[in-house]
Amino acid sequence: MVLDTLRHTGLAIWQAIAIATAVLVSVVIYLIHLWISKGLQFPKAGVCRCDVRMDGKTVIVTGSNTGTGKEAARDLAQRGARVILACRNARKAEKAAEEIRKSSGNGNVEVGVLDLASLSSVRDFCTHIIQTEPRLDVLVNNAGFSPVLRMRSDISFCPRTDPETADGFELMFAVNHLGHFLLTNLLLDLLKKSAPSRVVTVSSGAHVREPEIDFNDINFHHNFSPIRAYRRSKLASMLFVRELARRLAGSGVTAVSLTPGYVATSRLNSQTLSARALLWGAVGVMHRWLYGKTLLQGAQTTIHCSVADGLRSGQYFSECKPKDPAPQAMDDEAARKLWELSEKMVALSK
C-alpha cells in the first residue's frame, strides 16, 4: 500500500515537472519567434528631452503612489512643481510622497484622497482642491484599472458581477473613463483660470482593438469580456479627449492623450497564484524582458506631454511623439455622444 502511494506520488511529481518543462520550452519558443519576427530589433523607448522648469506651477497626478504615475510625479517635482498625488490609498500615497520629497529635493509634494470608482469621492476631492489651491497648471489623468488586477482560483480575469462600483457602473469604465471625466469637468474652471494649462490623459494602444463604443450596453450587462471592457474604457478616454479639446478651443487649456507603451507595473502583486496565473505570469515576465519598459521609461511620454512646448490640443502621443490614433478614436459623432451620455451618468446634466 505504501509502495503504491509512493509510486503515485513520484508519478505526479514527474508529471508536474514534465508540464513545467513543456510550458517553459513553449514560452521560450514563443519569445524567440517574436524576437526573430521583429528582426532582432528591440523597441526604442521615447525619452523626454525637455529641460522645462515647473517652478510655481501646480500639478495633479492621479494614481501616482506607484508605477509610471509615481515616476512622472517624481520628475515633475524635480522640475520644481507643486505636485499633488491623487490616490485612493492615503497611506501608500503618503509613503510615495515622502520618497519623492527626498529624491527630488522638493518638499512641496502633497497627498489628496481620490477614489475614481466613487463619484462622491471625486466630488469631495475637487471641492477640496478648489477651496485650497489657487491654480492648477497640469492635470494628469493617469490612474487606471486593468482586467488582470484580480485573480481568484484559476480565473485570469475579473467577472462582470464582481467589479461594479457603488454608483452601479462597470469598474473599468468607471475608473478609466467616468471618474476622470467628472474630475476634469469639475476642475475645468481652475484650469482655465491658470491658462495656459493642460489636461494629460494616459490611455492605451489597446484602444485600436476595440472597434466602437456600444452605447446600448455601455455597462457591459450583456456579453461581458474583461479584455473588451478594458479596451472600450481606453477608447472612451480617447474620445473624451477629442471632444474635450473641441470644447476647450480658445480657452488656453490644451488636452492631449497618450499611450505609455508596454510597461512593467505592480498590478500582479496581489493576485492568487494558480497554474494559469503562473503560466501567463511567466509569459509576461519573459515578454517584458525582451520588449517591455521600466517604470521610468514608461513615464517618459506622460512627462513629455506635461511639460513640452508646442503641443496641439487633441493630439495623441506615443514614445514622446505625436501619432495618429485608430480611426474609431477620431469619430466626432461618437465623441459627442459619449460626452453627453457621460454627463448624464455622472449627473453633470439631466
pLDDT digits (tens, 9 = 90+) for 280-289: 555 555 555 5
Residue 112 belongs to a domain: yes
Q: pLDDT over 70 for what percent of the chain? A: 75
Question: pLDDT tens-digit profile of 44-94?
Answer: 678 999 999 999 999 999 999 999 999 999 999 999 999 999 999 999 999
> Over the chain, what is the mean pLDDT?
84
Number of domains in the chain: 1
How confident is the model at residue 163, as a pLDDT?
57
Q: 58-73: b or e for each residue (b if 16 or more CB lie within 10 Å)?
A: bbbbbbbbbbbbbbbb
Q: Does residue 116 lie in a domain region?
A: yes
Strand order through the sheet with 109-113: 109-113, 82-87, 58-62, 138-141, 197-202, 253-259, 316-318, 321-322
140-154, 175-189, 242-256, 295-309, range with the lowest pLDDT? 140-154
What pLDDT score was predicted for residue 262? 79
Most confident range, picked from 163-177, 217-231, 333-347: 333-347
Range of the domain at 278: 58-346
Is the predicted pLDDT of residue 6 greater than 50, yes or no?
A: no
- Is the whole-model pTM more than 0.95? no
| Helix residue spans in 63-118 (DSSP H) | 67-78, 90-104
pLDDT at 161 over 50: no
Is 145 domain-assigned?
yes
266: domain CATH number? 3.40.50.720
In a domain, 24, yes or no: no
Average pLDDT over residues 272-297: 60
35 lies in a domain?
no
pLDDT tens readout for residues 11-23 = 666 666 777 676 6
How far is the CA of 199 from the CAs of 140, 258, 276, 305, 322, in angstroms?
Answer: 6, 11, 39, 9, 16
Active site residues: 230
On whether residue 244 sits in a domain, the answer given is yes
In a domain, 25, yes or no: no
Q: What is the dihedral of CA 240, 179, 53, 324, to 10 degrees?
A: -30
Does residue 14 form part of some domain? no
Residue 192 is predicted with a pLDDT of: 98
pLDDT of residue 153: 34
Q: What is the pLDDT of residue 349?
A: 72
